[in-house]
Amino acid sequence: MSERRHLLVVAHAPSPNTQKLVDAVLRGAVHPDVENVDTRHIPPLEAGPDDVLAAHAIILGTTENLGYMSGALKDFFDRIYYPCLEQTQGLPYALYVRAGRDGTGTRRAVESIATGLRWQPAQEPLICRGEFQEQFINDCEELGLYMAASLDAGII
């Protein structure tokens, strides 16, 4: 049997709709076809360096707040940056943003920090832009499945 892999989801969900996105990511990540991946969601204010160090991949989720990431996700990065800097280089990550307007500043901010950590994007960020749509839920479920299946298959 293969070694179990660990997928960490650090996602801010301040509203019922953003909670639906987290739930969709988690639903995709635990798809029955994914056999050797354990997935954990830890809100950004509760996640710490040890959680990141135990992960083989990470999904980051945030709202767009005044053109930037949520304060909760920024706090997470502030606390894990130096403890994880040397030990998590090459960590595959994916990002989804719940953006009321455009998400560009949020994406840039997260990518800048992830680049500093030398994490590797596993795919283009998913920007859920504008009024809330059911398609956002489907897209987030696909994101969770993609990351978990990629880990399971040894692609990332």
Task: Supply the pLDDT for residue 76.
Answer: 98
- Kindly calculate the radius of gyration of the chain based on its CA atoms and give it in whole angstroms: 14
Q: Which of 4, 1, 11, 5 is nearest to 96 (CA)?
A: 11
Helix axes 71-84, 104-117, angle to 10 degrees: 10
Written as six digits, the tokens of 136 are 């956002």
Task: Supply the pLDDT for residue 1.
Answer: 43
Residue whose tokens read 């995709």:
28
Spell 66-105 as b/e; 16+ CB within 10 A means b: eebbbebbbebbebbeeebeeebeebbbbbbbbbeeebeb
Task: Supply the pLDDT for residue 144.
Answer: 98
pLDDT tens figures, 81-137: 999 999 999 999 999 999 998 999 999 999 999 999 999 999 999 999 999 999 999
* Predicted structure pTM score: 0.97
Task: Supply the pLDDT for residue 122.
Answer: 98
Task: Supply the pLDDT for residue 3.
Answer: 86
Q: Which of 34, 72, 13, 21 is nearest to 156 (CA)?
A: 34
